[in-house]
Structure 1
Amino acid sequence: MKSITIQQPEKLVIEERPVPQPLPGEVRIRVSSAGICGSDIHIYRGHNPFAKYPRVIGHEFFGHIDAVGEGVEPSRIGERVVGDPVVSCGQCYPCLVGRPNVCTELQVIGVHRDGGFSEFITLPARNAHVVPHNISDNEATMVEPFTIAANICSQMNPGPLDIAMIYGAGPMGLTSIQALRGVYHVKEIIVVDRIDERLAMAKANGADRVINNTRLDLRAELERLGIRPTLIIDAACHPAILPEAIALASPAARIGIMGFSSDPCVLNQQAITSKELAIYSSRLNSNRFPMVIDWMTQKKINPEKLITHQFNYMQVVDAMEIFEKDQKQCCKVLLTF
């Protein structure tokens, strides 16, 4: 089989590998399509501290089960499935309280173990989620990105009284917009970014108001508009954002952080406590695949709006370059196998 492998930082190859055999409790998926994520680029560039090389990347993938290991029902062969990249032990404290995404023995497919940028992949059977036939192949490939939004929203509990503000109109921000609009029905969604074309994508995905904060003071602009956000999502993850979000938030607001920066930031404890703010962090997803598949089945979200490019997997270098460099026109890029 052909696999896209990062042999070491900045060295990507498409190489021939043996077709893997599923172990007991596993299934094998014949991959049909896979999505490129920013974390794939980080591994390629050597900026992911968790990755071990060589590594087959890719954690957003869809295909069909074509083989099963011992203990898995043979009737699963042929199922249309998406793969949850979170592989957990099931025994540690985080797993026992329903947070396998921060398992003490966590393995992430495409980071700690080989991923879905390959013609075949094996993974635990419980990680392969059936996709109904009313969800297209392209939409199915987008399930994993929407689980990131589902995870943070499930923690923050948005509702119709909320005025939501999202920093960043990249894929994480756009999936969050769709979830807040189509699932949680918040009162208003404001999106802040520095690229006008990305802000146009935000409007197309359901934002009510967009703000380019390249040259304006965001606090002064929100005061002018009479807006005090009750729910803020940081989907850009620059260290300057969290202190600003704390200052801008309404009393009793919730702030969610969707990623991480290793750079420090200085927080004002009084600003947090005086308004009794709640701050949530979110990593990957904690069993959110069934939730997102249900959203798609009910047409509460529209994943196709985020897909801007598709390439054959043999063109992966071109695909990754467009994803990395064309922030004005590119959102989600899918590879077909």
Structure 2
Amino acid sequence: MKSIVIQQPNRLDIETRSLPEPAVGEVRVKVKLAGICGSDSHIYRGHNPFAKYPRVIGHEFFGLIDAVGEGVSAARLGERVAVDPVISCGHCYPCSVGKPNVCTSLVVLGVHRDGGFSEYAVVPERNAWTVPDAIPDADAVMIEPFTIAANVTGQVNPTPRDVALVYGAGPMGLTTIQVLKGVYNVGQVIVVDRIEERLEMARQSGADMVINNLNQPLAAVLEAQGIRPTLIVDAACHPSILQEAVLLASPAARVVLMGFSSEPSSITQQSITGKEISIFSSRLNAKKFPVVIDWLSRGLISPAKLVTHTFAYQHVTDAIELFENNQRQCCKVLLTFNE
């Protein structure tokens, strides 16, 4: 089989590897589609502190179960499945309180263990979620990105009364916008970004108001309209955002952080406690695959609005370079395997 391997930062090879056999409790997935994420680019460029090399990248993937290991029912053969990349122990404190995404022995496919940019991938059976036949393949491969939004919104319980502000109209921001509007019917969703084409995608995903803060200060625009967001999501992941978010937030607001920057954010306790703002953080997903599959089955989200390009896996280098360098025309890029 062919696998996309990052040998070391900035060195990508397409290797011929032996077909893997599933161990006890595992299944082998014949991969059909995989999505490129920013974290894949970060591993390729050597900017992911969690990655170990060499590594088959890819944590957004979909395919068919074509082999099962001991202890797995043969009835699962042929199932269409989306793969949850989060592998957890199931018994540590985070796992016991419903947060396997921060398990003390966390393993993420495509980061700590080989992932789905391969013609075949072996994964734990419990991580292979059955996708109903009514959901198209191109939507099924987008389940994992939407679990990020499911994890964010699941923590803060959005309501129609909320005024939501989303920083960033990249893939994480766009999935969050769709979930806020399509699932939770949030009254007003405001999106801020510096790329007009991304702001147009935000409109198409349901944003009620978009602001280009390259041309005008966000605070001034909101203040002029008397807007005090009750829910703020940082999907741009810059350390400077927290300070501004807390200042802009309504009393009793919720702020969600998604970034991994090691740079400090400058903020005072008084600015948080004075308004009793709740600050949340979100990493990966905590068993949200069934949630997103249900949303897709009910037509509440539209993954196709985010997909802008599709490449055969043999052209992965071109695909990643497009993803990295053309944020105006490119959003979510898919790779095809086993067509």
Aligned-partner Cα distance in 2 for 1:332–1:195: 16
Structure 1 unaligned residues grouped into runs of 5+: none
Residue 191 of structure 2 corresponds to 191
Aligned-partner Cα distance in 2 for 1:178–1:218: 22
1:255-295 deviation digits (Å, cap 9, x = unpaired): 00122211111111101001000000000000000000000
TM-score normalised by length of structure 1: 0.99
Residue 28 of structure 1 corresponds to 28
Using the TM superposition, name which of 212-221 and 163-172 deviates more. 212-221
Residue 291 of structure 2 corresponds to 291
Tell whether the 8 Å contact from 2:238 to 2:259 is kept in structure 1 after alignment: no
Residue 261 of structure 1 corresponds to 261
Q: Map 1:59-74 onto structure 2 (within 5 A).
A: 59-74=59-74
Residue 241 of structure 2 corresponds to 241
Residue 75 of structure 1 corresponds to 75
Using the TM superposition, name which of 254-263 and 191-200 deviates more. 254-263
1:10-56 deviation digits (Å, cap 9, x = unpaired): 00000001111101000000000000000000000000000000000
Aligned-partner Cα distance in 1 for 2:128–2:217: 46
Moved over 2 A (4+): none
Aligned-partner Cα distance in 2 for 1:76–1:259: 37
Aligned-partner Cα distance in 1 for 2:262–2:135: 38
Residue 57 of structure 1 corresponds to 57
Q: CA deviation at 1:217?
A: 1.9
Aligned-partner Cα distance in 2 for 1:298–1:258: 27
Residue 155 of structure 1 corresponds to 155
TM-score normalised by length of structure 2: 0.99
Residue 46 of structure 2 corresponds to 46
Q: CA deviation at 1:226?
A: 1.3
Aligned-partner Cα distance in 2 for 1:113–1:27: 15
Aligned-partner Cα distance in 1 for 2:215–2:271: 25
The one-letter code of the counterpart of 1:40 is D
Residue 270 of structure 1 corresponds to 270
Structure 2 unaligned residues grouped into runs of 5+: none
Residue 140 of structure 1 corresponds to 140
Aligned-partner Cα distance in 2 for 1:287–1:55: 24
Aligned-partner Cα distance in 2 for 1:95–1:28: 25
Aligned-partner Cα distance in 2 for 1:218–1:294: 35
Query: How many residues are aligned here?
Result: 337
The one-letter code of the counterpart of 2:136 is S
Residue 94 of structure 2 corresponds to 94
The share of aligned pairs that are identical, in percent, is 66
Aligned-partner Cα distance in 1 for 2:167–2:152: 14
Residue 85 of structure 1 corresponds to 85
Aligned-partner Cα distance in 2 for 1:180–1:50: 30
Q: CA deviation at 1:63?
A: 0.1
Residue 326 of structure 1 corresponds to 326
The one-letter code of the counterpart of 2:170 is G
Residue 229 of structure 1 corresponds to 229
The one-letter code of the counterpart of 1:207 is A
The one-letter code of the counterpart of 2:264 is P
Aligned-partner Cα distance in 2 for 1:328–1:95: 39
Q: CA deviation at 1:215?
A: 2.9
Residue 168 of structure 1 corresponds to 168
Q: Secondary structure at the match of 1:151?
A: helix
Q: Secondary structure at the match of 1:191?
A: strand
Aligned-partner Cα distance in 2 for 1:146–1:229: 23
Aligned-partner Cα distance in 2 for 1:160–1:201: 22
